[in-house]
Amino acid sequence: MRLHLIFSAALFSASALFAESQAEFFASAMKFFLRRDYPAAKEMFRQTENAEGQYGALSRFYLASIAANEGDKNAYDLFERSLKNPPKDSLCRVAAQYAKFAIANSQYKRIADALAPIVAAGKSDSLVDWYYAYALYGSGEKVRASEFFAGAVKKYFGDADAVGMDVFVESAADGDVFAKSFSTASLPVSTDVGRARAEVFEGKKITVPQDKISVLAQIVLAESGADVDEKLLAEQVYKFRDAPFAWRGSLVLARIAIEKKRYAQAEIYARDAELLAPLDFESLMPVYMTLGDACRLVKKYDDARYYYQKIFMRRKIYGEPAAESLYKTGLCWFEQGDWGKAHAYFERVFVAYFNFEYWGSRAYYYDARALYSLGLSRDANATLLEYFRRAKDTKSEIYKEAKAFYSQI
């Protein structure tokens, strides 16, 4: 009996150690995953992917998600494996992630077939229903898709927690053909939630109070410049952070924090937006700009320049984003007292991008100040005179500041 007890204790100890090692591997993998260091995350997740229980199920899901982010075709098999044994209470989460990847790669029939059993068993949610209908539509079954999703709209449109309805109206606002095939008259608007969603669908001003609407409608309300309850919005964005549009919520929260001069909080929100945003540059560009602003305002100048340079160093990025990011890079050097480097960036702005006068005028003014600080007062004077000749907006505050500085030098 004693030997049995010792053996059992040894087994328990080994089991506990194994469980502990699984937890450590998984925790390390998640740290890498959240930093988007996918190669390192994959190595760690592979240590636990065949484990029984939640760590194994989650590891298989995250390996599928990484493959999808990397455009790896193995993602299909990995997601289908994850669907067979999903993490606890996460069947719809796995299905939605798989659907996003498959639809992005025009694999409509494949994902429709994968989602069909979930829908038929009544295990889908509003988001899976949206993706299933979208996949049917993409695979050519347009009537069936419309009929199916009309039922989902009737069921979920007034439910504030039905993220699939928010994705649907966001898609309509972005001009998606399938989403726009539904008429406004077909949308149930008897509730505050439904009415606000219909306003997002049509691109209209939201007229319903913030505390009575869905998370997407709250984000759109904040993006419009309306005065919103920041705490409520932050709570909702956190609650629905798996939603495809959640990054927009973190981004607008960062901008609100900057406006209120809470720069450290703005950096936290902006970093969250970077984590949640899709990997396409169109989505990431405003995140990089705001994150650069937040870092600059807390005097993390190296970080700020890193994000601004991600914009202007990208090929095919011209126009106002290039002007703004170049100017702000110069401003970083200016605030650090490196006048020579600041001059180099400011000059690039007003030489190449003065048609964006908001940034060009600021580049002229701060370049003159940088040149003056370098002891080049004649060059500073000439820079300001050139600005005055080119300026169209002679009533702006920056023009007045430039005039005042010119009178001093």
DSSP 314-373: STT--SHHHHHHHHHHHHHHHHTT-HHHHHHHHHHHHHH-TTSHHHHHHHHHHHHHHHHH
169-219, pLDDT tens digit by residue?
Answer: 999 999 999 999 999 999 999 999 999 999 999 999 999 999 999 999 999
pLDDT score for 304:
98
pLDDT at 225: 96
**398 close to 366: Cβ distance less than 8 angstroms:** no
Would you state the pLDDT for residue 25? 85
What does the pLDDT read at residue 6? 34
What is the per-residue pLDDT across 28-40, written as a single tens digit (0 to 9) for each?
999 999 888 999 9
Q: Class of the 317-409 domain?
A: mainly alpha
pLDDT digits (tens, 9 = 90+) for 353-364: 999 999 999 999
Question: Residue 220 is encoded by which pair of tokens?
Answer: 């759109």
**What is the SS3 assignment for 203?**
coil
Three-state SS annotation for 270-319: HHHHHHHCCCCHHHHHHHHHHHHHHHHHCCCHHHHHHHHHHHHCCCCCCC
Dihedral angle computed from the Cα positions of residues 386, 390, 392 and 393, in that order, rounded to the nearest 10 degrees: -20
Closest CA to 287 of 249, 260, 315, 341: 249
Under DSSP, the state recorded for 186 is G
Query: Are residues 268 and 230 in contact, defined by beta-carbon separation less than 8 angstroms?
Result: no
Model pTM above 0.85 = yes
The span from the CA of 404 to the CA of 401, in Å, is 5
pLDDT at residue number 107: 97
pLDDT for the residue numbered 20: 55
pLDDT string in tens for the chain (409-residue length): 333 333 333 333 333 334 457 788 889 999 999 888 999 999 999 999 998 889 999 999 999 999 998 989 999 999 999 999 999 999 999 999 999 999 999 999 999 999 999 999 999 999 999 999 999 999 999 999 999 999 999 999 999 999 999 999 999 999 999 999 999 999 999 999 999 999 999 999 999 999 999 999 999 999 999 999 999 999 999 999 999 999 999 999 999 999 999 999 999 999 999 999 988 888 999 999 999 999 999 999 999 999 999 999 987 767 999 999 999 999 999 999 999 999 999 999 999 999 999 999 999 999 999 999 999 999 999 999 999 999 999 999 999 999 999 999 8
pLDDT tens for each residue of 22-76: 788 889 999 999 888 999 999 999 999 998 889 999 999 999 999 998 989 999 9
Q: How much of the chain is in helix, strand and coil states, percent to nearest 5?
A: 75, 0, 25
